[in-house]
Structure formats: structure tokens, C-alpha cells
Amino acid sequence: MTAITLTLEPVIHLNPEQFYQLCQVNPDTKLERTASGELVVMAPTGGESGSRNRRLTQRLGIWTDENGTGEAFDSSTMFQLPNGAFRSPDAAWISLERWQALSPEERRTFPPICPDFVVELRSESDTLKSLQEKMQEYLNNGTRLGWLIDPQGKRVEIYRPGKDKEVLFSPVQLFGEDVLPGFILDLSEIL
């Protein structure tokens, strides 16, 4: 099963508060909203994708706790991007300075901020093209480093502002570069 995209506009317009409420009354449904107002109903992941994602977020979380320079988030966290889209990357990280600049209410709901770092982990239900478009959207909204991990293709696409994406085939490790200095992701059980 792949994601289903529903066109709502111009018949129905969900403002940010209404979209938040829709997500709250449908907690078992993973929803996203595009910048143009389309509602995206995400397909659930299978066991292998769920296990890979757990390893990814666990490693990012441990590094974040030890490093102390930011906050890490898992795939259930929804961010309101500057372009109006609501997205839930599989893993994300925001610098502590930017996170603390948000009000307590903004941190409690869907934070109106684009993460500094995002990861999308392709599952069987994802199309590569749709994930590449999301990665470009993250970059256009302020992400400083993004990884698109594709276990089916045994490849990783690295996204950086102002640069062409870099494609690595069967890499063993990924490095957090200047965004997450010292973070190394071992891909042996993810890719």
C-alpha cells in the first residue's frame, strides 16, 4: 500500500489548528499536509522498516543526549514548515538554540520550524520520487543536512543546501558533518 493524497482545496481549507485537531482525533492514522493543502494519508510501515527506523532514531537519540547541543525527534513528530506543509521525517534534529527559541505552546503542538537535520528511510510503500521531493522541500525550507536512506537500492542520497545531492552506493557509515559534529551512523543493520 502506498500513501494516498487527497485534494481538499478549494472545497476544504484546514488551517494549522484544524489540521492539528484532525490528527489528534485520528491518532492511529499518520497524516501529513502538503504546502498546497493536500492531505496525505501515509501507509503504515512493515516490520523490517520499523526495526530499521528504531535503530536510526535510537542512535541519533543517544548521540543527542551525549552531545547536548540539540533535540532529536522520531517519526511521530510533525513539523510545520515555513512553506505551510506539515511533515514528519523519519528522524530529525534541531539545534538547542533554535528549539529553545520556540514558545512552550509551539513545542507542545506541531513545532513551526524546519529541522536542521532530517532523515527519510524508504520503506516498501514509499516511492523514491516522492521521498526525493520531500528532501528537496526540507532543503528549501531550511534543512542544513538530509539523508535519504534507500535499503531497496542499497544507496543513500545526501542533501545539502546549495549543492547537488550526493549518491553513495552501499556505504558503511554516514557522518553528521558540521551539522552533527561527531555523529557517525553505522549502516550495517539499516541499509
Band (pLDDT 50/70/90 cuts) for residue 130 is very high
pLDDT score of 163: 97
pLDDT score of 161: 97
Strand partners for 4: 41
Per-residue pLDDT tens digits for 71-85: 999 999 999 999 999
Q: How far apart are CA 131 and CA 3, in angstroms?
A: 11
Strand ranges of the sheet holding 31-33, from the earlier edge strand across to the other edge: 4-6, 39-41, 31-33, 86-87, 79-80
Q: 83: which DSSP letter?
A: T
Q: How far apart are CA 119 and CA 6, in angstroms?
A: 24
Residues 6+ apart with CB under 8 A from 20: 109, 110
Percent of the chain with pLDDT over 70: 99
Residue pointed to by grid coordinates 489540521: 19
Per-residue pLDDT tens digits for 24-37: 999 989 999 999 99
pLDDT score of 74: 96
Residue 6 predicted with pLDDT over 90: no
Per-residue pLDDT tens digits for 47-68: 988 899 999 999 999 999 999 9
Domains assigned to the chain: 46-186 (3.90.1570.10)
Residue pointed to by grid coordinates 513551526: 112
Q: How far apart are CA 164 and CA 55, in angstroms?
A: 28
Residue 117 predicted with pLDDT over 80: yes
pLDDT score of 1: 63
The DSSP line for 161-185 is: TTS--EEEES-SEEE-TTTSTT-EE
Chain-centroid distance, C-alpha 117: 8
Per-residue pLDDT tens digits for 141-163: 999 999 999 999 999 999 999 99
